[in-house]
Amino acid sequence: MKNVQESAERVVANVERVIVGKHAEVRTALVALLCEGHILIEDVPGVGKTMLAKALSRSIGCTFRRIQFTPDLLPSDVTGLSIFNQKVQEFEFRPGPIMAQVVLADEINRATPKTQSALLECMEERQATIDGVSYAMPSPFLVIATQNPIEYEGTFALPEAQLDRFMLRLRLGYPKPMEELVILDEQKRLHPIDSIAQVLGVEELRLMQTAVKEVYVDQAVAEYIVRLVTATREHPDVYLGASPRGSINLYRASQALAALDGRDYVIPDDVKTLAVAVLAHRLIVKSQASLREIDPDAIVREVLAGVPVLEPAAARPSA
């Protein structure tokens, strides 16, 4: 896993030339990329959500498209459409912006549910069906969606089915004062994104994605993941807990995080590090709990504190 670690560190260092002071968040975004998952970034405007997507795509030499979601955006504006060509007297497909390797879906909660649902097949099945014909997404394929939590007027909440398609949710947050001074100094004459170069090839990324799947996960760690997810379903403040897709994503994300640390095995701390990012956005909190301002992040942290880590099966005393 040393090769995976070294390659990942090159990408992280390259992205951090643009995204200052967010080392953990950049690594977590790379975890999703290695697991072929998708990212939901929920934060206030101007903290670098778009720059993170651009820097990541340029670092790995992938095609990049940005979709600005608005209330009048149509599903065909996302996936593409068939247009009749009078010269050849037949329909030809014009691909939409979703047909890129890294897609930034900006302010996704501003679009109508019908347009939001156009992403579901693309994200999960990695294909888009237009006029009965299926078109495969490119490889690698990563959707980075952003939503602004403070501008609720004119927005449409993402349905549970779509939230579940995102492997993890990130929050960048404001930089610290010293980090903000560095940002100001670096952007005196030129934005750092303009000098970002490719540091990893697409083929090398595919090899890393394959290697991550070989990271060993002990049965005790797998059981720990299942008990965490089960605890979210049984929590008194939760109306709808994390789905089995949440278990799978936490399992795979833990493998990727272990590989980023140069290990070929997962430890419980990998699971704990990623649990909030992978599970919290999948929870539907009961209305009475929402009135008490109990948020899903706090529930996952409570579950982490309450669910113990068991010893490996080989180390347990026999009954």
**Highest mean pLDDT range out of 17-21, 104-108, 264-268?**
264-268
Per-residue pLDDT at 214: 93
At residue 312 the predicted structure's pLDDT band, cuts being 50, 70 and 90, is low
Q: How far apart are CA 166 and CA 164, in angstroms?
A: 5
Beta carbons within 8 Å of 233's beta carbon, 6+ residues apart: 241, 242
**Does 159 sit behind a cis peptide bond, omega within 30 degrees of 0 on the bond before it?**
no
* Partners of 4 in the β-ladder: none
In degrees and rounded to multiples of 5, residue 67 shows phi and psi of -115, 120
Strands 102-106 and 142-147, sheet pairing = parallel
Q: Give the separation between CA 133 and CA 131, rounded to whole angstroms.
A: 6
Judge whether residue 277 has pLDDT over 90.
yes
pLDDT tens digits for 172-228? 888 888 988 988 888 877 888 888 889 999 899 999 999 999 999 999 999 999 999
Residues in the chain: 319
How many Å apart are CA 71 and CA 55, to the nearest integer?
Answer: 28
Q: Tell me which of 251 and 150 has the higher pLDDT.
A: 251
Most confident of 14-28, 87-101, 156-170, 249-263: 249-263
Measured between alpha carbons, how far is 108 from 68 in angstroms, rounded to an integer? 8
Name the more confident of 248 and 70.
Answer: 248
What is the full DSSP assignment across 163-227?
HTT-SEEE---PPPHHHHHHHHHHTSSS-GGGG----S-HHHHHHHHHHHTT-B--HHHHHHHHH
* Whether the predicted pLDDT of 23 surpasses 50: yes
Question: What average pLDDT is seen over the chain?
Answer: 87
Domains of the chain: 1-212 (3.40.50.300), 215-308 (1.10.8.80)
pLDDT digits (tens, 9 = 90+) for 122-172: 888 888 888 788 888 988 899 999 887 655 556 677 778 788 889 999 988
The tokens of 212 are what? 């991550």
Radius of gyration of the chain (CA): 21
pLDDT at 319 over 50: no
pLDDT of 318 higher than 80: no
CB-count exposure of residue 188 (10 Å: 0-12, 13-18, 19+): exposed
Q: How confident is the model at residue 315 (pLDDT cuts 50, 70, 90)?
A: very low
What is the per-residue pLDDT across 43-85, written as a single tens digit (0 to 9) for each?
877 888 888 989 999 999 888 999 998 888 888 888 888 888 8
Q: Which amino acid is at 91?
A: F
pLDDT band at 313, cuts 50/70/90? low
Mean pLDDT of 35-45: 88
